[in-house]
Each structure stands twice: as structure tokens, then as C-alpha cells.
Structure 1
Amino acid sequence: MAKTTCPVAGIDRAAGTIAPVAETSYELTVAEVRPETREAVSVVLEVPAEHAEQFAFAPGQFLTLAVPSERTGLVARCYSLCVPPGEPLTVTVKRTRDGYASGWINDHLAVGDVLRVLPPSGIFTPKDRSADLLLLAAGSGITPVMSIVRAAMRDGTGHVVLLDANRDEESVIFAEPLRRLAEAHPDRLVVEHWLETDRGLPTQEQLRDFAAPYAGRDVFLCGPAPFMAVANAALRELGVPRARRHQERFVSLATNPFVD
């Protein structure tokens, strides 16, 4: 993954179209910095009433944040929202190896700080919150998927199956919220945690077998590139058409949207 990364601001995987990212940024105050694991925090941002419309979002979208940098003044980074629409604007940031921005947010960001933020963007979002879904996530890829799960359970009637792959039990982001959601919706939500320490990295064959009973559903996929490559291969093997395979990809930002 390149140093400056962002989810594609709207690649429609069926049509190949690109939705533009908004250019107007806003200053938002940090209301809470909540630890999720030893390597990840969730950041809650206050949205003034006059900007509520600009920061309305759909499940699975992301925000672009301006992070202070001693070398360049500001660097732009994109982080996915982890909450359903209507809840306080919250992104989750996992520390990445040699990741300046994610490290700064985890180590230095505090309540009362002010961040410059672009409005929500992205099309990694279900068209129907009552649809039956298959969700495949790994590592911090659970963040936009968690937004989708929460919205589906709160607002929809569909059945959702989630596979969440992580290195070990301590690295599982949202372990407790997922447990509570599964207990609250036992007939609608199935969560399977895949731990590398117990089962190794998931293979194409294993993901194919897991996904096979749900191959008729829309699939939302997010995680590190190797995981997504294996998962996509498994889905293609099952005959899941491209129009029903939705994935959040990461590409380098060509320019810094916060620099004139």
C-alpha cells in the first residue's frame, strides 16, 4: 500500500464510473478518541448544525482528513466511517507500519483538537439496507463493513453473514459490538471470526467453501490487498458476477485536496 492512500472516491465496479470527491473542507472538533484495540482508535467528530447536510452519509462511506505534517504542513488521509447514518460522525484508524498519519492520530490526537475534513464520499454502500448480504473483512477492513452491519441491523430486515479475519484475538476491532449485535439479532446476523493464530491465513478454497451457501447475495469485501485477491478469486470461482462484488480499493491520492 502506498504512503498516501484513500479508498477510491467512487469506482462503480459494474459501470466503471468515478464519483468526484467534494473540494470544500470544513473544520470539525474532536469530541472523543476511543481506543478499540492496542493498534486502533475511533475518532468522533462534532458536526455543527449548519453543516449537518454536508456531512450526511451512507453506510460504508469514508472521510478525508487533513493530518498535520512537519515536512509538508498537511497530509491527506482517508478513513472509513464505522457507524450507521444518524449517529455521531465516527471514523476508525488502525496504526499501520511506518504510517505517519495513522501513528499521529493514535498517539497525539485529543479531545478538543480541530481537524480539517472533507464531506463523506464513496460508493461502498448497499442500495437496499434490507438486502441479504455476505460481508468479507480483514483487519481494519472491518470499519466500513461495521457501518453496513449496524445500518442493516437497525434499519433493515435482511440476513447478513460476516467473516472477519484478523491476526489474533487482541487485534479484532469491534469484537464486543459485533458480539452484542449477533446476540440481539440471532436470526439475522451470523459473525464468524477467523484468527490467523488459530487457522492460518484464509485460502481461496476455504473462502470459497465459506461463501458458497451465500453466492446469490451481494458481497462487500474490504481488507489488505492479498486478502481481497484471494477472496475475489473465490467469488469468481463461485460464479458471483462482478456487479454483485463490491470492494473498497485503496489508491494513492494524485494531489493533496487540502493544499491550494
Structure 2
Amino acid sequence: MQRNATTQYPILLVHGLFGFESIGNIALFHGIKQALRQAGARVFIPYLSATHSNELRGEQLLAQIDRVLAGTGAAKINVIGHSQGALAARYAAAMQPKKVASVTSVSGPNHGSELADYLRKALIPDRLPEHVAATVATLFAEFLSLLSGHPQLPQNAIAALNALTTESVGTFNDKYPQGLPNTWGGTGKELVNGVRYFSWSGILKGSLVDEGPNLFDPLHSLCRAFSRYFTTEAEENDGLVGRYSSHLGTVIRSDYPLDHMDTINQTAGLVRKGVDPVDLYVQHAERLRNLGL
């Protein structure tokens, strides 16, 4: 059956930490842009710094929203942000709500990441390990930007780490509270200042030995390893972000059996059974279309 995801406004897919559009044949949102376009949506992937603060990445996003609006003649944009990309999307909508029709957070750390808290405590400011980690991570981000064709983008790994801790995101939320739940684990207002807010995310379920073919996915194994550093949401996280920390606006679902990278279809289409991450995006575009967005 032919799907109809012909949204009124174009869709921007915004990457998170260490993200990019594509490097060679490797697309970060694997198969997602193509599926949305086949269903009738106009889809763009902006290029943002792979590592930097939420506000700087948000300003970069605003500049590219203007380019898409000018190029398409559209009045607004539907923004779907994965991971830290959700925070950039929220910033853009808070600063320029008339240009944004909807913000959708996919596995977004909307209340911070416990993994970032652990790393921040481990890397004591002005101590040698922090300098080494910052240099290596920033060089890696610069390398990714070079390979993806955007070497001019500024990179700052420590700014990115600081931006993702629960304390820093709390400060961010005080400035840009649109769509946030009033209670932990609750839902937020869907419509704020003319912008609609949505979210979905996944959690790790069972043990690694229960994963079948997914056992051989190195990204999934990495998420399993990172999951050990969660305490508040020890049994309810995707390896990088806690389930309830991801809530924003109307929560479509926050316990899909997907890890953090599965939600952008990284290797998931090859090894995972059951939930189709790509179809979640097409379903959501249909949802936006039905809302006149």
C-alpha cells in the first residue's frame, strides 16, 4: 500500500553528538530520508557541529532553517531531532516559533543524560585526563566533519559534554521549557506558541544473550556497556538516554525495544526483528500530515 507522508511543511532530520548526514555510502539516518521522500515528504538534513553546545548548534540550525524556507518557499519547518539534535530543535523553536511547525524529539536527553553526568565527574576539569579526552574527541569530530564535507564547522567536545549533563540541561530547560512535562515521567503540552511537540524513544530490554542476531551488533553492545552507568533509570534507558528523560510534549512511546542508535536505524534493519525504526518516521510524518503540518 502506498504511504502518504506529504506534509505541508518540509522535514528536517537533525543529528546529535558526533553526527553527520553521510560519509561515503554511510548515512546516519539510515534509509529514513529515502523512505520519507518515497512517501511524499520533502526532507533535508542540516549540517551542525558534531560536538558543541546546545545553543551554538541551535543557532546553526536556525540559519539552515532559513535556507530551507528560502529554497522551498515554505512558511515553516517540521524538525525531528535525534539525541542532542532534539535540544537544538527545541532551542530553534523557542527562539523562532513562527518558523517551526513542530518539534519531535527522538531519544533526546530532554532532562540530561546520566552517562554524561558520569563522564563529567570522571573527567575532572583542568586535570590531564580531561585535556586528553577533549583533544581526542574534538579531533575525531573534526575528522568526521572533514569526511562529511563540512570541515569549517567549529568543534568543542567539552562544551558538548557539559551541555548534556542533567545540571546543564536543567539550566537549558529553565530558559526553554516549551513542551516539557511538569512531572517526572509525564507528558508535556503538545501545542506551545503555535509549535507542536512530540517525542519517542526506546529502552534496552532483557540481556545481551537474549538479543539473537543483535548480539553481534557492536553499537548495541556499546549501548549495553554504557547502560551500566545509569542509576536513576537503571532499567529504563537506551544506553545513552533514560526513558523518562526523553519525554517531551506528546509522548508517542518511550519503551520501544530499541537502543539509542537503533532509533536512527543504525544496523537495526540488518539484525533487529519486530519494530521497524524507519516506519516510525513514516508513521510520524503521516501523523503530522493529518494535523495539517
Please indicate, yes or no, whether the TM-score normalized by the shorter chain is above 0.5: no
Specify which structure has the higher proportion of helix: 2
Specify which structure has the higher proportion of strand: 1
- TM-score w.r.t. the length of structure 2 is 0.29
- TM-score w.r.t. the length of structure 1 is 0.31
